[in-house]
Structure 1
Amino acid sequence: MSFKDLKISKPILRAVAEAGYDNPTLVQEKTIPLVLEHKDVIVSAQTGTGKTAAFALPILQSLLDQQDAPKKGKTIKALIVSPTRELAIQIEDNFKTYSAYTNLRTTVIFGGASIEPQKEVLKKGVDILIATPGRLLDLHKQDSINLDYVETLVLDEADLMLDMGFIDDVRKIERLCTREKQILLFSATIPHKVEQLANSILNNPERVEVAQNSSTSKNVAQLLYFVPKPKKIELCLHLLRNTIKGNIIIFRRTKYGVDKLEKTLIKNNYKADSIHGDKSQTARQDALTQFKKGEVNILIATDVAARGIDINELDAVINFDLPNVPETYVHRIGRTARAGNTGIAHSFCSADEKNYIKAIQQLISLQLDVIEDHPYPLDPKAKPIVHTSNKTGSKHRKGRKSEASKKKKKRWY
């Protein structure tokens, strides 16, 4: 099947061809016709399956069909809500690429950046708005956004949006749009809370499921190293010196861990940068740009910061800390071996992470390849490290309360 068969018109086809895409992916093939029929749709697909184009192309096509309408000031006809800034920026890039030969206008708004320039762009009028929930509601409160003309509402990465606590914001945004709108919900997984949200706001939705939620790419070699927690940094340096080459993303569970590893790698003369939630939007964007340009070849990230990052030429993923949610492992390693390429995932497992490995292997129905031949093996009998405090007890007598806590008691509000 080609994009032409999906009733996509010439200006969009030309831009798609120039972007290097010949044929639609499975998720695009299944989703685009349903969107063009103005049906509500729930799509379950992993990142890297081409799902942004699965909603971007039919939205552009629908808006292009209405271009004969009188050219009054542009109003927001399509609203795409995205959980993270990086993902929102990336979706905007996609829309701009595919609409290069149309006069449709797209913009993106997100928190962590100055609000005034965003207001200015909105004042000029846009057809397609991509937004993170918080900034969208802020601008709506300030009367800078009118959602009365929204025909299509897209909730992208719905599972992550709910994990990040945006459920009330999403419901509020849905209520601010017109009642007749079409809703497209995209999610890597469809847990119970996503199902509940879908049931409450979608109208007889069609479902598209591409590959099992647990599926990992056949092109990724998945290697496992059992290693004592304090030796993970040494193992990482050993592998970077001897084994792992090319463009690499290293995942850590905490922002502190990301910063610590970045400093160590830079001290050892590696070209590394990092992204996590405490970094400014500019710093995160710069890190991504440097990585994509090849100015640094190692990017260290937390899961939320890395979700939805689109990097095609990725040779390896290192799970420095194993995720406690097995689906997160699938997301992480799905960043390598995209578009038919091959890749390698290296996972470091300390004694206290063995249960995570069990859950991951159950989810993906696959035994990871254990690499025993490395300099920092974990003693099979090693017990998880339990951090205990050296304090022998409180200096206050039992039952005695500090002045501050007595004051707190009086605060009834």
Structure 2
Amino acid sequence: MNFDQLNLAPAILRAVQEQGYTTPTPIQAQAIPVVLEGHDLLAGAQTGTGKTAGFTLPMLQLLSSRPARQPGAIRALVLTPTRELAAQVEESIRVYGKYLDLTSTVIFGGVGMNPQINRIARGVDILVATPGRLLDLEGQNHIDLSNVEILVLDEADRMLDMGFIHDVKKVLALLPKDKQSLLFSATFSDEIRELANGLLKSPKSVQVTPPNTTVERIAQVIYPVGRNRKKDVLAHLIGENDWSQVLVFTRTKFGANKVADFLNDKGIK
């Protein structure tokens, strides 16, 4: 299959082809027709599968093919867990929608509100947002979500892992009932399924991620060790194995700084 067979508008196909894409990924081939038909969607897909285009392309097509309910109103909302993902999604919307008469913007915390408020005040069709900043601006009456036609929850499992479930539910309460909803998640916990059941109406299901499998090419080892010895064991393993590149995950920013300082003190850059 190629993109020509997905019934996308010539303006969208032109933008896709300019990016050098001719063949859709499995998630794109399965999700795009479902979304174009107007169905709600429950999709299992990780980062790297092409899922962003899987919802961006049909969303652009649907919005560009029908009149806005209210000029200047927000017509589509994409919720993401992080500012990095939000920026990446909004960039994709701009790239694929470059030949369409649709506008988009991105809002997230950690930066000033005023430029975001000004941009929204000028009118925007597609808003990409993290939940916290969205609720902040909505609470100050800068955002009206009553005309949203399409909602996308991207990386819903990460949103729950990061403690955003209550914020997400608050956002959902602000949206109209008669919208099309798309939920993307790499894993499906009971909480995700509960969220999907409350949000999605007779959804179609697409699954391209193996259900919670481990990666076969990675050797996995566990070292049971007391909390106060973990950094010592880490330094020992790096030295003993003469590892030159190591990726260490910590639970908090504070913890990350402590580990980095400890390793530097041990002569490990």
TM-score normalised by L of structure 1: 0.58
CA-CA distance at 1:129 after TM superposition: 0.2
Provide the residue aligned with 2:4 in structure 1: 4
| SS in structure 2 of the partner of residue 139 of structure 1 | helix
Provide the residue aligned with 1:330 in structure 2: none
Q: Equivalent of 2:196, from 195, 198, 204?
A: 198
- For the pair 1:103 / 2:101, whether they are aligned, the reply is yes
d(CA) in 1 for partners of 2:21, 2:214: 23
Provide the residue aligned with 1:162 in structure 2: 160
CA-CA distance at 1:16 after TM superposition: 1.7
Provide the residue aligned with 2:64 in structure 1: 64
Distance 1:173 1:225, change over 3 A: closer
Q: Report if aligned partners of 1:233, 1:261 keep a CA contact under 8 Å in 2.
A: no
Q: Equivalent of 1:236, from 235, 238, 248?
A: 238
Q: Report if aligned partners of 2:40, 2:204 keep a CA contact under 8 Å in 1.
A: yes
Provide the residue aligned with 1:34 in structure 2: 34
Q: Report if aligned partners of 1:45, 1:213 keep a CA contact under 8 Å in 2.
A: no
Q: Equivalent of 1:114, from 112, 115, 125?
A: 112
Q: Report if aligned partners of 1:82, 1:157 keep a CA contact under 8 Å in 2.
A: yes
TM-score normalised by L of structure 2: 0.87
- Offset from partner CA, 1:235-260 (integer Å, 9 cap, x none): 336210xxx5xxx7543344234223
Runs of at least 5 residues in structure 2 that lack an aligned partner in the other structure = none
Distance 1:268 1:71, change over 3 A: farther
Q: How much identity, in percent, do the aligned residues show?
A: 46
Q: Equivalent of 1:260, from 246, 258, 261?
A: 258
| SS in structure 2 of the partner of residue 130 of structure 1 | strand
Q: Report if aligned partners of 1:42, 1:184 keep a CA contact under 8 Å in 2.
A: yes
Amino acid at match of 2:234: K
d(CA) in 1 for partners of 2:7, 2:265: 51
Q: Report if aligned partners of 1:161, 1:167 keep a CA contact under 8 Å in 2.
A: yes
Distance 1:265 1:224, change over 3 A: farther
CA RMSD of aligned residues (A): 2.5
Provide the residue aligned with 1:125 in structure 2: 123
- Offset from partner CA, 1:63-106 (integer Å, 9 cap, x none): 2213xx48974221110111221211111121122112223211
Provide the residue aligned with 2:141 in structure 1: 143
Provide the residue aligned with 1:21 in structure 2: 21
d(CA) in 1 for partners of 2:68, 2:127: 20
How does 1:223-372 map onto structure 2 within 5 Å?
223-224=219-220, 229=230, 230-236=232-238, 238-240=242-244, 244=245, 249-263=247-261, 264=263
Tell me the matched-pair count. 260
Amino acid at match of 1:239: W
Q: Report if aligned partners of 1:46, 1:213 keep a CA contact under 8 Å in 2.
A: no
- Offset from partner CA, 1:290-325 (integer Å, 9 cap, x none): xxxxxxxxxxxxxxxxxxxxxxxxxxxxxxxxxxxx
Distance 1:216 1:17, change over 3 A: farther
| SS in structure 2 of the partner of residue 79 of structure 1 | strand
- For the pair 1:208 / 2:206, whether they are aligned, the reply is yes
Amino acid at match of 1:223: A
| SS in structure 2 of the partner of residue 252 of structure 1 | coil
CA-CA distance at 1:149 after TM superposition: 1.3
CA-CA distance at 1:216 after TM superposition: 4.6
Amino acid at match of 2:243: L
CA-CA distance at 1:226 after TM superposition: 6.5
Amino acid at match of 1:78: A
Distance 1:70 1:168, change over 3 A: closer
Q: Report if aligned partners of 2:69, 2:147 keep a CA contact under 8 Å in 1.
A: no
Distance 1:123 1:262, change over 3 A: same
Q: Report if aligned partners of 2:235, 2:266 keep a CA contact under 8 Å in 1.
A: no
Q: Report if aligned partners of 1:79, 1:150 keep a CA contact under 8 Å in 2.
A: yes
| SS in structure 2 of the partner of residue 204 of structure 1 | coil
- Offset from partner CA, 1:191-236 (integer Å, 9 cap, x none): 1111111111211111111132223556xx3134676741322433
CA-CA distance at 1:261 after TM superposition: 4.2
How does 1:374-389 map onto structure 2 within 5 Å?
none
- Offset from partner CA, 1:263-289 (integer Å, 9 cap, x none): 44699695xxxxxxxxxxxxxxxxxxx
d(CA) in 2 for partners of 1:166, 1:253: 16
CA-CA distance at 1:182 after TM superposition: 0.5
User: Which has the larger Rg?
Assistant: 1
| SS in structure 2 of the partner of residue 183 of structure 1 | strand
Amino acid at match of 1:55: F
d(CA) in 1 for partners of 2:40, 2:214: 28
CA-CA distance at 1:183 after TM superposition: 0.6
Distance 1:176 1:254, change over 3 A: closer
- Offset from partner CA, 1:168-207 (integer Å, 9 cap, x none): 3222222211221001111111111111111112111111
